[in-house]
Amino acid sequence: MSEIQKLIETTAKLRSPEGCPWDREQTHQSLKKYLIEETYEVLSAIEEGSAEDILEELGDLLFQICLHSQIKAEQNIFDFEAVAKRVNDKMILRHPHVFDPTASTIESSKDVVDQWEKIKAQEKASQPAASPFASIPKALPSLARALKVLKKADKLKINYTLSKTALDEQINNIQNPEELSQILLCLCERAKQLKIDPEDALRQLVLETELQFSQKTN
């Protein structure tokens, strides 16, 4: 029996009537915070560079995926094997230069990204129309999501004009990461003074901006 299969069986046992009360009580909603925490712990382990820590944290993240898959398996919707098959099929489909001997040659990583986006667009073309920003996860931290929305807007040839505020000149004169981070830190300090959650405030603005961008594509 493979180690993956052992983990799947362990997860099923934990969720069974003879298993763990805590694990049995969990739902997709209740597990969301743990999925986020485990993801960030993987990132921390990668930044710290310890192979042992990366091994540990990847395992914890994998267990979260097993838990979510097991919940769906209990509902007879899909299981872990279906999750693995879906992502494996996707990787093969989106890497024709590796798995299809008749595909055109790829010369650079940029070509790979361009091809990935083209194939992804072809897949979406057969589905009901949706906002071009629909693929950007709404649960991303606001700064990360804002960057993705703005990059997508660039690809769609949509120009975003900064609001005319007192910070405009300072923002436009930023030359390096340190200057940018100082402004962000100052804004966070000001948000604290005003009792404003900067993450939520930016999330709302990004959603409104995304909606405006989407309307421009119609």
**What is the rounded CA–CA span in Å between residue 87 and residue 43?**
21
Contact 117, 152 (CB under 8 A): no
Q: What does the pLDDT look like over 108-160, one tens digit per residue? A: 998 888 888 888 878 777 666 677 788 788 878 888 888 888 888 888 888 77
In this structure, the number of other CB atoms found within 10 A of the CB of residue 151 comes to 11
Residue of 112, 134, 140, 122 lying closest to 210 (CA atoms)? 134
Looking up residue 72, the CATH number of its domain turns out to be 1.10.287.1080
Listed residue (159, 156, 163) closest to 134, CA to CA: 156
The reply to whether 73 and 85 lie within a common domain is yes
26-48 pLDDT tens trace = 999 999 889 989 998 998 999 88
Q: How many distinct structural domains can be found in the chain?
A: 3
Is 179 a domain residue? yes
Please name the residues in contact with 67: beta carbons below 8 A apart, sequence gap of 6 or more.
11, 15, 23, 26, 31
- Give a yes or no: residue 98 inside a domain: yes
Answer yes or no: do 8 and 72 share one domain: yes
Nearest-angstrom CA–CA distance, 117 and 115: 5
Domain shared by 31 and 74, yes or no: yes
Same domain, 66 and 116: no
Question: In which domain, by residue range, is 210 found?
Answer: 142-217
In a domain, 193, yes or no: yes
pLDDT at 164 over 70: no
Closest listed residue to residue 91, CA positions, set 81, 103, 83, 99 = 99
Predicted pLDDT of residue 126: 67
Pair 183, 157 in one domain: yes
pTM of structure? 0.69
Whole-angstrom distance, CA of residue 45 vs CA of residue 57: 7
In a domain, 130, yes or no: no
Distance (Å) of CA 182 to CA 40, 171, 185, 188? 23, 11, 5, 10
Asked whether residue 25 is domain-assigned, the answer is yes
79 and 99 both lie in a single domain:
no
Q: What average pLDDT does the structure give for the chain? A: 87
pLDDT of amino acid 87: 97
Taking 80 as the threshold, does the pLDDT of residue 88 lie above it? yes
Kindly state whether residues 83 and 102 are assigned to the same domain: no
Instruction: Tell me, yes or no, whether 137 lies in a domain.
Output: no
Same-domain check for residues 100 and 78: no
Asked if pLDDT for residue 17 goes beyond 90, the answer is yes
Same domain, 81 and 118: no
- 163 and 121 in a common domain: no
85 plus 104 within the same structural domain: no
120 lies in the same domain as 166: no
